[in-house]
Structure 1
Amino acid sequence: MKKLGILSLIFILLNFACGKQRITKSDIRHAQNIFGMEFTPSQISTMQEYLNSNLQGYDSMRLSPLGFEVIPAMTFDPLPMGFEFSESPSVFEFEFNEDIRMPEDKNELAFYSVADLSVLIKTKQISSVELTEFFLERIRKFDPKLQAIITITKERAMVQARKMDEELANGNYRGPLHGIPYGAKDLLAVKDYPTTWGSEAYKNQYFDENATVIEKLDKAGAVLVSKLVSGSLARGDVWFGGKTKNPWDLNQGASGSSAGSGSATAAGLVPFAIGTETLGSITSPSNRNGITGLRPTYGRVSRYGAMTLSWSMDKIGPMARSAEDCALIFEAMYGKDAKDMMTIPAPFSYDNTKQNENLKIGYFKEFFEEDSSSSRDNNLEILDEIRALGYELTEVELPKTIYPRAFDVILRAEAGAFFDELVLSGSSASLVEQGESSRANSLRQSRFIPAVEYLQANRHRRLLIEDFHQTISGFDVLLTPTRNFKQLMVTNLTGHPALAIPTGLDSANHPTSLTLLGNLFDEEKLLELGTLIQSKTDFHKKTPHGFE
């Protein structure tokens, strides 16, 4: 259970005991302007007692603050009408390069793929302890420049690494992630270590159990070496310790909110990382830092033990060097979890040797042509690369019935509910950023969102789900610039999966990115096409100068 601030508790008790008409007719007249309504004096008079009664109801609920693990009785269903799951069983096929050998310069390991490091571990060319120590040393050396790490989990990592080496020596190999170090965004609970959510208000927060994703990766044999920066309460790249940097340009932030996951992976501080996305927090830092990021279908990966920003929009996914690596990691993460009632069971099949020549691919021509960013030229060229692979690209458009500002109400209302005690206690004032675009301001203003409008926004969302399903269901993959807010808003609301892949560097030596969108639970088609594109290009192999 959460503890309510003592001043807030006293205030509530006094008001609750008082029982007087705290809301005046004048209050109602002024308040209606906030909601764009206009009632007659007679109607306002009849409301007064009701509204004061409501206020007492709010007070009574606040006397029993809720634990972070409690979710609303209303749950989000992303499935369109008549949606059917594939009846095919999960089949995971992966061909490794068995010829991989230890480099003469050990520093090159920093930019090896997870797949290649896996071969080195399995063939005992390097131990998990050696590899873990190697990445811990890189964190020590380079993180002062990047500010991508919140907590180094060295003791836990070394225990796990030694265990993986012992198991391998005894013939017990857990799979491709056996002994591979990684980092996790600090929204995920890890027992015995602080889970700060990137915020001053929670920097001493501990949980007694691990997030399900951490448990799954433990089971797969992965070695957690660090908890990575989340922008404060999953906003941007600013946290209580500073601003996480883009290793390609230390004068630029890493973007957020999976800022640490993007920066640390790009700079070779970890071979892969776990990020979260509500509205661009995997795809945006993947774009900024030049890595590959998979945002899975809503409900694909358990969020138990993760901070909530929006119960109906949050997703957890892998961030790595390649689509192949994302597939290896995702295979260990996805699945139904009894602790997260919003997880949805569905099969996942992937083959890194497969070229599906029958893929139907569409693209948002308007978004590519109107793109005035530095990504434009690289993204237009990658479209030609995909055509050269033998695919025909068909123009598509987003549904016309989109209301971005209305839908933002959903995210802000749900975040406001989760962080209600932070606002009631006045602790939101402790957050680093307090301006108009800050998380603190967003949480405070969420109190002025009417329940009726939140529900109306969700009714419109249902129409959007059906409309976008009609748009994408005729295709296997849709292509879009990563930096496009319209598609980002729509697909995060509908819960569709996305894969952001690098497309090169612009004139300022900053990475650029393309996003592949798929049907619900069709991650394999995104990953297979991404793997094919990356087998014909080398954009995902580029590394930032100064971190060799």
Structure 2
Amino acid sequence: MKQFSLLIIACIGSFLLGAFINNDDTQKPITSNMVEVAAQVFGLEFTPAERDSMLDNLNNARQNYEALRKIELSNDVAPALYFNPLPAGFVMPTGPSSFKASASEKVMLPKNRDELAFYTVGQLGQLIRTKQISSVELTQFFLNRLKTYDAKLHCVISLTDELALSQARRADAELKAGKYRGPLHGIPYGAKDLLATKDYKTTWGAEPYKDQTIHMNATVIQRLEAAGAVLCGKMTLGALAMGDVWFGGKTRNPWNTENGSSGSSAGSASGVSAGLLPFAIGTETLGSIVSPSTICGTTGLRPTFGRVSRHGAMALSWSMDKIGPITRSVEDCALVFNAIYGPDGNDPTVMAAPFRYIPLATLKGVRIGYVKKAFESNYPNRATDSLTLQTLRNLGAELMPFDLPTGVPASRISFLLGVEAAASFDELTRSGRDDLLARQTKNAWPNSFRSSRFVPAVEYIQANRARTKLINEMAAQLKAAKIDVYVSPTYAGGNLALTNLTGHPCVVLPNGFTKQNLPTSITFMGQLFEEGKVLAIAKAYQDATSWHKKHPVLQ
């Protein structure tokens, strides 16, 4: 199946020669000299005769661009061409879904209620189901923690107190009436503030949109409400989903509040790490679940591209945006993912595929790949990651060396993200309101948006064609290795960028601490649409360790 590019070609502005013309001269004809300058920017060379021959086409094209810019294209309007991560010959999983949580251990309400802050979703669910605590009590407990510690962590944009208590009262009434919605029934959570929530602001973390209200609930918000979850807050994100700096400041790492929490799911990871929420929803385009989970010591699931509907979520990159949970444990990720995956009829990129999850009693005989070159390279957490490999061997896994494909360097086509983001926020750039964003450095969005307008449409298409090749090469590597799951250092070796481009799912979880007592992480990667397998194997590893049970001490 072929992969398609995601932007309307005219919207990209293939030659963008207007950038070389002063605002007062936008109606003046494009000249041969202008074409020569533009060609140099693009690394091309044309003869004087060739440049002259282009002028009619380029002047007509500019008129098309001007006409196109008069058409209102809000952020929720997706391009007519959709990214598809399936390699040639890929067979979609079929059959029914199945979900089996771990065997329940008896959970008792602690004498010290503060200990609830670091209970898992599964443990809190048992307390609610057995009526040892009400959803209203639990919701008030976490709302109080959010109010108490947000002044230090800056992880909340909007508290949704009224909604939360209303949902909690409903959960308690339903349970009293014998209606139990499942393991998320009555469980408080937070949502990254790029998910639309009716009657509350959805700010995207950015000054130009800090008063924005979108009068709908995103699909993920709807599905969590249907599962009985209780929304307590809209969590911070770096402005327009980059980093941890938003219009209200910088979100902090609970392990060291002098440091940022990384991003862009900054508040989601910080809040869960600090015990302000049992779980939160994050998004990832190029590391925005993996990175803050690593920094804050949480467990995160980045699902396959096309697994979770993005309806009602801010669009940054139509071909790379993904939504997933940030939690305390791998099984908590499975519980939340089980409630949010699948088509909704609104996001055309979401595909129907079963989700099958069952915990593994042992890893004996399980073939797990490991990115050998990455693990053997010289990087800061090499010793910690080597212990992870040894733990997997001790659990009975057969570790197989695995090489990532090298035919298409992911770094050379990652500019796809910048181009799509520039189109998502085209009006912000042209209006000059991008000056309102807190970060204005060379690597911040305003400069990236402007620079991306100089990417020729042909090169954008060529990069997508190279991406098709990368997808097929990745599939061939996995097939040759005869593995379904592999492990990779979280940052070393280029795995993070590559798999965000190919759309593969991953679970990131804590695997140790640095000398500065900051968390480290390891990444488990899965085949497309096989979140169940990667979660089960990652859980077996996590159950053999205690890193996820450690938590920061807040003053």
Q: TM-score, normalised by structure 1?
A: 0.95
Is 1:29–2:26 an aligned residue pair? no
Is 1:285–2:288 an aligned residue pair? no
Moved more, 92-101 or 102-111: 92-101
State the Cα distance separating 1:126 from its structure 2 match: 0.4
Separation in structure 2 between the aligned mates of residue 237 and residue 485 of structure 1, nearest angstrom: 24
Q: Which residue of 1 aligns with 2:426?
A: 420
Any idea what SS the aligned residue of 2:80 has? coil
Write out aligned runs for 1:337-486 (5 A): 337-352=344-359, 354-355=361-362, 357-373=364-380, 375-473=381-479, 474-484=482-492, 486=494
Separation in structure 2 between the aligned mates of residue 280 and residue 484 of structure 1, nearest angstrom: 13
Relative to 1, partners in 2 of residues 1:358 and 1:346: Cα closer, same or farther, differing over 3 Å? farther
State the Cα distance separating 1:494 from its structure 2 match: 0.5
Contact preservation (8 Å) 1:16, 1:60: no
Separation in structure 2 between the aligned mates of residue 96 and residue 238 of structure 1, nearest angstrom: 41
What percent identity do the matched residue pairs reach?
50
Is 1:508–2:516 an aligned residue pair? yes
Any idea what SS the aligned residue of 2:90 has? coil
Separation in structure 2 between the aligned mates of residue 70 and residue 452 of structure 1, nearest angstrom: 23
State the Cα distance separating 1:404 from its structure 2 match: 3.0
Any idea what SS the aligned residue of 1:448 has? coil
Contact preservation (8 Å) 1:16, 1:59: no
Relative to 1, partners in 2 of residues 1:441 and 1:16: Cα closer, same or farther, differing over 3 Å? closer
Is 1:88–2:100 an aligned residue pair? no
Moved more, 400-409 or 81-90: 400-409
Separation in structure 2 between the aligned mates of residue 319 and residue 365 of structure 1, nearest angstrom: 28
Contact preservation (8 Å) 2:363, 2:396: no
Relative to 1, partners in 2 of residues 1:90 and 1:354: Cα closer, same or farther, differing over 3 Å? farther
Separation in structure 2 between the aligned mates of residue 354 and residue 383 of structure 1, nearest angstrom: 18
Q: Which residue of 1 aligns with 2:525?
A: 517
Separation in structure 2 between the aligned mates of residue 148 and residue 367 of structure 1, nearest angstrom: 33
State the Cα distance separating 1:122 from its structure 2 match: 0.2
Q: Which residue of 1 aligns with 2:12?
A: none
Runs of at least 4 residues of structure 1 off by over 2 A?
15-22, 95-98, 352-359, 402-406
Relative to 1, partners in 2 of residues 1:55 and 1:200: Cα closer, same or farther, differing over 3 Å? same
Separation in structure 1 between the aligned mates of residue 269 and residue 90 of structure 2, nearest angstrom: 34
Q: Which residue of 2 aligns with 1:336?
A: 343
State the Cα distance separating 1:86 from its structure 2 match: 2.2
Is 1:528–2:528 an aligned residue pair? no
Is 1:268–2:294 an aligned residue pair? no
Contact preservation (8 Å) 2:196, 2:214: yes
Gaps of 5+ in 2: 1-17
Separation in structure 1 between the aligned mates of residue 342 and residue 355 of structure 2, nearest angstrom: 9
Q: Which residue of 1 aligns with 2:214?
A: 207
Any idea what SS the aligned residue of 2:400 has? strand
Separation in structure 1 between the aligned mates of residue 539 and residue 270 of structure 2, nearest angstrom: 22
Q: Which residue of 2 aligns with 1:489?
A: 497
Separation in structure 2 between the aligned mates of residue 449 and residue 325 of structure 1, nearest angstrom: 41
Q: Which residue of 1 aligns with 2:5?
A: none
Q: Which residue of 1 aligns with 2:3?
A: none
Separation in structure 1 between the aligned mates of residue 190 and residue 314 of structure 2, nearest angstrom: 17
Relative to 1, partners in 2 of residues 1:495 and 1:422: Cα closer, same or farther, differing over 3 Å? same
Relative to 1, partners in 2 of residues 1:165 and 1:96: Cα closer, same or farther, differing over 3 Å? farther
Q: What are the Cα deviations for residues 210-254 of structure 1, in whole angstroms up to 9, with x where unaligned?
A: 000000000000000000011010101110110111100111110
Q: What are the Cα deviations for residues 71-106 of structure 1, in whole angstroms up to 9, with x where unaligned?
A: 111111100111112233211111343410001100
Moved more, 360-369 or 104-113: 360-369
State the Cα distance separating 1:19 from its structure 2 match: 9.1
Q: Which residue of 1 aligns with 2:113?
A: 106
Contact preservation (8 Å) 2:238, 2:263: yes
Contact preservation (8 Å) 1:190, 1:210: yes
Gaps of 5+ in 1: 1-10
Aligned alpha-carbon RMSD (Å): 1.8
Is 1:129–2:136 an aligned residue pair? yes
Contact preservation (8 Å) 1:96, 1:115: no
